[in-house]
Amino acid sequence: MIRRVSAWLGGAAFIGSSELLAAMEVPATNTGSFTPADIAFLDEIAETILPETKTPGAKAAQVGTFMAVMVTDCYRPPQQALFRDGMARIEAAMQRRAQVSFMQASPAQRLSLLNEFDQQQKKPSTPARRSSKRAMAPQDHFFRMMKELTLFGYFTSEIGCTQAQRYVETPGHFAPNVPYVPGTPSWADHA
């Protein structure tokens, strides 16, 4: 299709650009300085936030890789440092609390620890921030960044979009009053 559009629009734009077309088929995996162990760690954090239930969890949606790519490609160096520091803080807190690494901790231990970090990120940390009229920015607390990336990565993944939500591939007509049946998943795309 791209080659046809290129030919319609003047020809030579994509002639000999098989590398470009091949690159478009490969998912982005620029994880920067995140190692496979870091990504596995992020997968476990994400899985603790969105565990497998009747639908696959965040680990199945490869949210750890998504977080690594987003932090590498979209965050500024101060936010990248805060995110990395947060990973170290989670590991250190688990070591202090249970004398095991986060990766070796039980799901209940992980959940308890992450709930504490979640409560911390909800509290304003300084009087200046309490009086500020702006909303809390993602760089204010590492766990907020992790939680937002987990939700964003999961619900924009194929698994989150098609199994955790209802999905309509092409938009249909506008229906302002769609009846809700309790227990049905939300819409990934309004139809």
Residue 69, number of CB atoms within 10 A of its CB:
21
Q: Cα(85)–Cα(68) distance, rounded to whole angstroms? A: 14
pLDDT grade for 47, boundaries at 50, 70 and 90: very high
Angstrom distance (rounded) from CA 147 to CA 154: 11
Chain-wide mean pLDDT for the chain? 79
Helices (H), the chain: 2-8, 18-25, 36-49, 63-74, 77-98, 107-122, 127-131, 142-155, 158-159
Whether 13 shows a pLDDT value over 90: the answer reads no
Alpha-carbon dihedral 66, 68, 72, 78, rounded to 10 degrees: 120
- pLDDT at position 114 is 95
* Percent of the chain surpassing pLDDT 90: 50
168, 191 Cβ separation under 8 angstroms:
yes
Please tell me the predicted confidence (pLDDT) of residue 121: 87
Reply yes or no on whether the pLDDT at 59 is more than 50. yes
Cα separation, 104 vs 101, whole angstroms: 5
124, pLDDT greater than 80: no
Paired residues of 141 in beta bridges = none
Return the higher-pLDDT residue of 106 and 183. Answer: 106
| Cα gap 70→30, rounded to integer Å | 9
Q: Are 73 and 33 in contact (CB under 8 A)?
A: no
Q: How far apart are CA 131 and CA 22, in angstroms?
A: 51
Question: Is pLDDT at 7 greater than 60 in this prediction?
Answer: no
Ranking 24-28, 85-89, 137-141 by mean pLDDT, the lowest is: 24-28
Burial of 160 from C-beta contacts in 10 A (0-12 / 13-18 / 19+): buried
Phi, psi at residue 163, to the nearest 5°? -110, -35
Q: In the chain, what are the domain boundaries?
A: 33-123+139-164
pLDDT surpasses 80 at 90: yes
Confidence of residue 178 (pLDDT cuts 50, 70, 90): confident
pTM of the model: 0.69
User: Residue 44 pLDDT more than 50?
Assistant: yes
Q: Closest Cα to residue 161, out of 152, 149, 172? A: 152
